[in-house]
Structure 1
């Protein structure tokens, strides 16, 4: 596994470590400022990953799937980061500290609308990653060195399309609570 692949794995692990550290500081140790400092470190991880990937490519490396996934990771983190932290915060408060209300499950049109909002975020993260990847392709200006970047975009465009189909099905056949008909 190359440096960029290890950086992605490390940044993903550190993302959840700093989030858990932030929640632990906030709720267990009653240190909200320290918790905020930990949570504010998540964008720093994205910048670090961007620098590692950019330096590797600037030194002449052939773009790999890992480089493409770095762009995907960054775009997903930017678009979904706040909602992922809120999701984890709600569960941490309820399941770990026994505070707050139990996270609600969504059904019917509420679930469909929520899933649609998630699909819009998915599309936005795809567009952002596509911009980063096309920027890298133009910057490197060597089709042989950037083939992996374009192939990830192709695969991801299919995934976004499949996710749209799934989203539409929730409006046609809304998700039902277990035991209801």
Structure 2
């Protein structure tokens, strides 16, 4: 199962980089679009592989739990990751504007939005965990989900700390 996850992660980055290279280096807009639209197929392949593995007698395992986490994160953050890579690729190879560094309230709002995406990833993965548990008959992957719950709470505290903390420079001025 771990091999499938690693293969999907490699497939994600290969398709993403190939799509961006086709867009900015080769100026092949249609090829770029086809490659970038095929990136979500990596997630579909992992989901199908996991279901086939469980339906053919495989027991639900931590590997399946990691696949659920991967899928949840990919669905919740996938578009943003594509946009992030696109902006940097455009800056590096096509004279696009440099990436913007967020500060102050914009950074705080961004961190809160990222935490909401994290919650969405958590919920999606939880549903996939449930599906895998029903198909595999074993709940061993839920230990991973409990760990993720702790990580989600810590991420929430950190994300919202950007909203309430005072910048260091203004603290020194007082």
CA distance in 1, matches of 2:168, 2:15: 36
1:119 matched to 2:115: yes
Which deviations, in whole Å up to 9, do the C-alpha atoms of 1:56-113 show, x marking residues without a partner?
1112222221111111111111111111000000001112x14111001111111010
CA distance in 1, matches of 2:79, 2:91: 18
- If the length of structure 2 is used for normalisation, what is the TM-score? 0.92
1:24 matched to 2:17: no
Shift of 1:175: 6.1
1:12 matched to 2:9: yes
- If the length of structure 1 is used for normalisation, what is the TM-score? 0.89
1:146 matched to 2:139: yes
5+ residue gaps, structure 1, are none
> Across the two proteins, how many residue pairs are aligned to each other?
171
1:93 matched to 2:90: yes
5+ residue gaps, structure 2, are none
- The answer to whether the Cα contact below 8 Å between 2:20 and 2:32 also exists between their aligned partners in 1 is yes
Where does residue 108 of structure 1 map in the other structure?
A: 104
CA distance in 2, matches of 1:59, 1:121: 33
1:49 matched to 2:46: yes
Q: What is the root-mean-square deviation in Å for CA atoms of aligned residues?
A: 1.8
- The answer to whether the Cα contact below 8 Å between 1:22 and 1:34 also exists between their aligned partners in 2 is yes
- The answer to whether the Cα contact below 8 Å between 2:68 and 2:128 also exists between their aligned partners in 1 is yes
Extract structure 1 runs of 4+ deviating beyond 2 A: 174-177
